[in-house]
Structure 1
């Protein structure tokens, strides 16, 4: 049975709809592609092209924040046309094409930045429609489980991506071409799976107000929705990007640089194991407290950076906590937002929250890059700890 064609009466309590499994497969393949690049970029930009932390922070900010505006576009278009799959497919296609552009731009910083931005723009375009497909096929009481399972499958790709990159670099050295080409192949296969195996009832009317830009922004008038959006943005502003977390862990623990591309694999492995249980926990005890608790775990990661030369034990502890942070926040936030938004505005509602989070994380990445460039390591880490602790307190007081 094709998932997105499942009728509400066919949703069996306790079962995860086929839509979630199908889209999980697409995300798995796409994440192999994306995480190959994520694992490769710090080594390539910092140690091959000899970029400074400030330049890296700007590029990493583009990689994170380029999704922002197109999240709104993707959410609005998919709600307006009732074709979530088509809009998501356009985003997956854009990301696949950009993988083939990386070898062409070579060591040109502007070209790399523009290509990274285009790649993340594809992610921005597809994220809200994809999450809308999942939420519309799932009963409200099962949203945490559904998003947890999807994120778990997505994380299998996040496990395989860094591993493939590590094995490639071990065989051929730091050569960009093969990494980008293989990454593109996985992205194309993911797009094919989406086209061939995910279907939706595009013409079926959804309950709620007629989709429009005004209606999407009007969601912020609802106190519960506005609280979630502000909380996600405030915490995003104090969240150091994954690339910087892995760089800081490598420097703080003193492990060999060759293991840097493998660090995302550790985070992904924990995420894979913990995402579905965290989703079930959030369904039972509440999604907001689990989301806030996840950021407390991230604060513990930052505190571990103050332990000098902790070696492989420090790496293991940091990656364990980092993976649990994502398990408690990524799918949980989408589930929390989905429960607050009417069906007809589901993608738009998701995209507004995701856009705010992406924009604040862009600011965080650029700011932390400059801080790490011009301040001491310890100063930068203490600043990150203070900012996140303050953000958690502000978010908690809003609850």
Structure 2
């Protein structure tokens, strides 16, 4: 079966008639809601740990900025290549839910691993790598299920709703960590145990409510050939997919990581340590409010302009951290712009990629896009840590803002022309 794919730099126009009108009334499919619920619960667990980890590593274990940059890069990038393996396995056996479930389980177990690691930095790094391995394995199958559960013209909306639900968890997670620390004092172990229990609940919800095959997608037929390595590698020969992966890697180089942003805010405003987890709450609140509206906007005006706008907000965030604004205006503006960056880029970039990638290897293609970003993020975290140590935090963040501007120019050159994200016929 073959389908015609139009450019995803602008949304596909809906034909007139009562059918599309009824489809617009149904915001998203049940599978998207179920996956959003799993992500919501998982993010409560993940952000509980993420909210206290910079303090634990930098102030508790006295890590240097370079060492923190390495661990922060490992947190996202070290297991990036295994995303592609997970994506290929999910495509070959059409077991996206199973592969995603393995990833969610690994991340849950890693929370207990933090208890066993104690104050050993190498052990903590290994546990963080396992946690990110879980995230890497699950992300592409989950996002592929969203694209296959949604008509192409509504992908921005679907990812916006999913990311909005995800951001509810990101909003609640630091609050939960804050509450645990208020009750038990500076006991990071209590945060880790609570985080594990929440993560285990997410795995249960995935097993019970997420469908393996999206509506309208037939189960695998015995006579249907399995996806081969050669077919998956063929994505690199497709111009649109290759451009997307390269652009995603460039954009990853412009991202320095949440921990650095929040540490810079904490240093500039001399915030008390117990308030540190609430910085992530502010970002998540902006993300929560903006994710769905920006997803709908991306379907209407084009997904690429929304992504570019998001990275513009990121550059403005970096400039604020090195600028003259101080006090609560600085905190409010920084967290709002940072949340807007995530809302405009996280799901919208995958919505941009989805229609370009053939359905049979879509999970692998999404994994390639995510891997490009993650590997670049690993590099950028280490480089920013080195820049912080060599030049000081203010000069380092100014250099990061310049990098954002350069990356945006490169991304526009790669993707701005409509024909560069167009494929005539793509096999399903």
**Structure 1: how far apart are the matches of 2:204 and 2:324?**
47
* CA distance in structure 2 between the partners assigned to 1:143 and 1:216 by the alignment: 23
Residue ranges of structure 2 left out of the alignment (5+ in a row): 1-18, 417-428
Q: 1:394 aligns with which of 410, 413, 416?
A: 410
Alignment of 1:1-399 (within 5 A): 13-14=23-24, 15=26, 16-201=28-213, 204-205=219-220, 211-308=227-324, 310-398=326-414, 399=416
Conserved 8 A contact 1:25-1:153: yes
Query: 1:253·1:309 contact (CA, 8 Å) conserved in 2?
Result: no
SS at match of 1:51: coil
For the pair shown, the structure with the greater C-alpha radius of gyration is 2
TM-align CA RMSD: 1.9
Work out the CA distance in 2 between the residues paired with 1:237 and 1:161. 27
SS for the counterpart of 1:107 is coil
Q: 1:260 to 1:308 in 2, by over 3 A?
A: farther
Displacement, 1:10?
12
Quote how far apart the aligned CAs of 1:365 are: 0.7
TM norm structure 1: 0.94
Q: What is the CA–CA distance in structure 2 between the aligned matches of 1:11 and 1:221, rounded to whole Å?
A: 38
Superposed CA offset, 1:38-76 (max 9, x none): 101011111111111111111111001134112101110
Tell me whether 263-272 or 216-225 shows the greater mean CA deviation.
216-225
In the TM superposition, what whole-angstrom CA distance separates every residue of 1:280-318 from its partner, at most 9, and x where no partner exists?
111111111111111000000011012246011101000
| Structure 2 CA distance for partners of 1:348 and 1:11, relative to 1, 3 Å | farther
1:244 is displaced (CA, Å) by 0.8
Secondary structure (helix, strand or coil) at the match of 1:13 reads: helix
Deviation track 1:143-190 (CA, whole Å, cap 9, x = no partner) reads 110011000111111011101111222232321211000000010000
Q: Which stretch has the larger CA shift, 371-380 or 329-338?
A: 371-380
- Give the distance between the partners of 1:196 and 1:210, measured in 2 at CA: 27
Aligned-partner Cα distance in 1 for 2:21–2:40: 24
Question: Per-residue CA shift, 1:54-112, capped at 9, x if unaligned?
Answer: 11111111001134112101110110001100000000011111111111110000000
Residues 96-138 of structure 1, C-alpha deviation per residue, up to 9 Å, x if partnerless? 1111111111000000000000001000000000111111111
Distance across 2 between alignment mates of 1:44 and 1:35: 14
**Equivalent-residue separation in structure 2 for 1:367 and 1:96 (angstroms):** 30
The 8 Å contact of residues 306 and 345 in structure 2, kept in 1 or not, is answered as yes
Alpha-carbon shift at residue 209 of structure 1 (Å): 8.7
1:6 aligns with: none
